[in-house]
């Protein structure tokens, strides 16, 4: 008797590009917050770089949050069809 063929392996799932961007941005935000904390604690005067660093960190977080909310809204709208 013939042996049955092994089922073909399922193709590997494609990674979500937005998830990769989110992970990268979260890593950058963590490093920026660490740098802001070090600058706030270990300097005698407030450096001129700290405010732009905190503003850029906040802007990156808000952008990441908006991108993920847009993706969630689009996937929710697509599932409702």
What confidence score (pLDDT) does residue 20 get? 93
Hey, where are the domains in the chain? 17-79
Non-local CB neighbours of 29 within 8 Å, separated by 6+ positions:
57, 60, 61, 64
What confidence score (pLDDT) does residue 1 get? 64
pLDDT in tens, 15-53: 889 999 999 999 999 999 999 888 888 866 666 778 899
- pTM (whole model) above 0.85: no
Which two tokens mark 45?
A: 């005067």
- Give the Cβ contact number of residue 44 at 10 Å: 5
- Residue closest to 49 by CA, chosen among 29, 63, 35: 35
Q: Is 33 exposed, middle or buried (0-12, 13-18, 19+ CB in 10 A)?
A: middle
- Per-chain mean pLDDT for the chain: 87
């Amino acid at each position: 008797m013939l042996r049955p063929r092994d089922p073909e392996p399922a193709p590997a799932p494609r990674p979500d590009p937005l998830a990769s961007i989110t992970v990268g941005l979260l890593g950058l935000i963590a490093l920026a917050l660490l740098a802001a904390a070090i600058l706030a604690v270990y300097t005698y005067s407030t450096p001129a770089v700290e405010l732009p660093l905190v503003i850029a960190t906040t802007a990156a977080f808000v952008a990441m949050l908006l991108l993920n909310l847009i993706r969630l809204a689009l996937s929710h709208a697509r599932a409702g069809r």
